[in-house]
Amino acid sequence: MAEVAGLQIESRLNRDGQPRAYLAGTRVRVQDIYAMSEVHGQTPDEIVRSLPHLSLAQVHAALAYFFQHTGEILQELREDESMVQQFRAMTGPGPVEQKLRQSTDANRDSVSS
């Protein structure tokens, strides 16, 4: 795939063969940095502390790329979420989800008793 945004961002195929924007030389997607920043409210410095193999410049490059390609990145997020939902529909709830449901059901039963 072609390299974009200088040497900071590159477009590569993910495991499903879909093109995704990654920080060059890493397995970190631009959408991951976007989620950490916008969804989880982390500052660029906090992101670097969470992912110490990244530089502050890389985080800023990912955010700049996101803001230049917002529609494309948000579409990738929607596609990935759709794939997750399809997988969950095929496989059913995982062990953690089952345990949480059992715990919630047990709590509800003890409250109603």
Which pLDDT tens digit goes with each residue over 8-49? 999 999 888 889 999 999 999 999 999 999 999 999 999 999
In this prediction, residue 48 carries a pLDDT of: 98
Q: How many CB atoms lie within 10 A of CB 29?
A: 21
In this prediction, residue 86 carries a pLDDT of: 82
Better-scored residue on pLDDT, 33 or 79? 33
% of the chain residues with pLDDT over 90:
57
- Domain span at 22: 3-112
Burial class (CB in 10 A: 0-12, 13-18, 19+), 73: buried
Q: How many CB atoms lie within 10 A of CB 47?
A: 23
**Count: domains in the chain:** 1
CA distances (Å), 12 to each of 4, 26, 30, 106, 108, in order? 10, 11, 11, 46, 47
Q: What CATH number did the domain enclosing 43 receive?
A: 1.10.10.10
In this prediction, residue 16 carries a pLDDT of: 82
pLDDT band at 51 (very low <50, low <70, confident <90, very high): very high
Token readout for 6 is 């200088």
